[in-house]
Chain A
């Protein structure tokens, strides 16, 4: 790391799991999470020259969210029938995993997936990443009041979906 600016390999090594978890909560499946992480690391590599040392997780959250929202917009412009994921890319859960915890996590993830994309993004950035409303507004490009509304409505939808 030179002058506080990491290489993309260091970002992958030190923040890869964080990136994967945010990407998975946004995308809802491993195949899309892989694409999100991959594209994020490419943007990181190309954008490191302009990176100002500061909150790296915040910067990464902004990039992965932008990649996700770009893809959402792309899919809206060119809607296609949902295709099944390539079987070889959707691997079974680890057999040693805590099954009860996995079930609960899957149930919550499924409920999260029912939220509109903008609501899900706001809720994930707030409750998974821990960003402030101001920062989320910056990422989503909307007023703070809109973020507040999205988070609240998203949580209420999530609660309804889980009951």
Chain B
């Protein structure tokens, strides 16, 4: 970085100044420099503009179906972990095979849908922008679940593994 002020007042003191991260003595030094240095005033304006631009960014809406996919995947992994833990803890006589417990797909789907509804309901505003409405979608999926089928197939057609896709 170019130091335009000498060894004791680097340029990044300007950002620390606007963020309130300097001591009183350092603040005074920055203000003195700003008073006499036009280049520093220009950089100061740039820093403030960049900072304000980021701070004024609107809250972003997740795309439709986002929470349904995320929460279903997390619930699925949680259920897998639960089953693994249960198997590891079980002491089973060698003569008798351990009964296989099917994953509780209904519970997973229900839990995910409930949390999705919670996320959407907890939204302070803008939730009507999401189309289709995630809460309605989650409710309809939850209502359609049955013991005979795996509702995750319906809940998360675009479900992805827990990793980046590149």
| Chain A interfacial positions (CB closer than 8 Å to B) | 8-9, 12-14, 16-17, 20-21, 24-25, 30-35, 37-39, 41-42, 45-46, 71, 74-75, 80, 82-83, 85-86, 88-92, 94-98, 101, 105, 108, 112, 123-124, 126-128, 132-133, 148-149, 151-153, 155-156, 158-159, 162
Q: Which of A13, A98, A152 is in CB contact (< 8 Å) with B122?
A: A13
- In this assembly, does B53 line the interface, its C-beta being within 8 Å of a C-beta of chain A? yes
Counted as pairs of residues, one from A and one from B, with CB atoms less than 8 Å apart, the total is 157
CB contacts (< 8 Å) of A97 on chain B: these are 61, 129
**Most A Cβ at <10 Å: residue of B21, B60, B73, B111:** B60
Pairwise interchain contact B119-A16, C-beta atoms closer than 8 A = yes
Q: Determine the distance from Cα of A101 to Cα of B129 in the docked complex, in whole angstroms.
A: 14
- In this assembly, does B67 line the interface, its C-beta being within 8 Å of a C-beta of chain A? yes
The distance from the CB of B40 to the nearest CB of chain A, in whole angstroms, is 12
Q: Which of A13, A88, A96 is in CB contact (< 8 Å) with B118?
A: A13
Q: Which of B46, B59, B158, B163 is in CB contact (< 8 Å) with A35?
A: B163
Q: Which residue of B lies closest to A19 (CB)?
A: B70
Pairwise interchain contact B111-A9, C-beta atoms closer than 8 A = yes
Given contacts A35-B160, A94-B131, A97-B129, contact A152 B11 (CB under 8 A): yes
Q: Which of A42, A88, A149 is in CB contact (< 8 Å) with B158?
A: A88
CB contacts (< 8 Å) of B16 on chain A: these are 133, 148, 152
Q: Is the interface of B mostly helix, strand, loop or mixed?
A: helix
Q: Which of A8, A25, A96, A156 is in CB contact (< 8 Å) with B43?
A: A156
Given contacts A8-B74, A41-B70, contact A156 B64 (CB under 8 A): no
The distance from the CB of A25 to the nearest CB of chain B, in whole angstroms, is 8
Q: Give the number of chain B interface residues (Cβ < 8 Å).
A: 55
Contact with A along B54-98 (1 / 0, CB 8 A): 110111111111110111011001100100000000000000000
The distance from the CB of A128 to the nearest CB of chain B, in whole angstroms, is 6
Q: Determine the distance from Cα of A24 to Cα of B60 in the docked complex, in whole angstroms.
A: 8
Q: Determine the distance from Cα of A127 to Cα of B164 in the docked complex, in whole angstroms.
A: 25
The distance from the CB of B160 to the nearest CB of chain A, in whole angstroms, is 7
CB contacts (< 8 Å) of A95 on chain B: these are 131
Pairwise interchain contact B12-A153, C-beta atoms closer than 8 A = yes
Pairwise interchain contact A71-B54, C-beta atoms closer than 8 A = no
Q: Determine the distance from Cα of A75 to Cα of B164 in the docked complex, in whole angstroms.
A: 10
9 A-B contacts, Cβ less than 8 Å apart?
A: A38-B73, A89-B165, A105-B57, A123-B54, A126-B19, A148-B16, A152-B15, A153-B12, A155-B15
Q: Determine the distance from Cα of A86 to Cα of B65 in the docked complex, in whole angstroms.
A: 15
Given contacts A13-B115, A35-B160, A75-B166, contact A105 B60 (CB under 8 A): yes
Q: Determine the distance from Cα of A123 to Cα of B111 in the docked complex, in whole angstroms.
A: 35
Q: Which residue of B lies closest to A18 (CB)?
A: B59
Q: Which residue of A lies closest to B157 (CB)?
A: A88
Pairwise interchain contact B164-A32, C-beta atoms closer than 8 A = yes
Pairwise interchain contact B19-A35, C-beta atoms closer than 8 A = no
Pairwise interchain contact A96-B69, C-beta atoms closer than 8 A = no
CB contacts (< 8 Å) of B111 on chain A: these are 9
CB contacts (< 8 Å) of A98 on chain B: these are 58
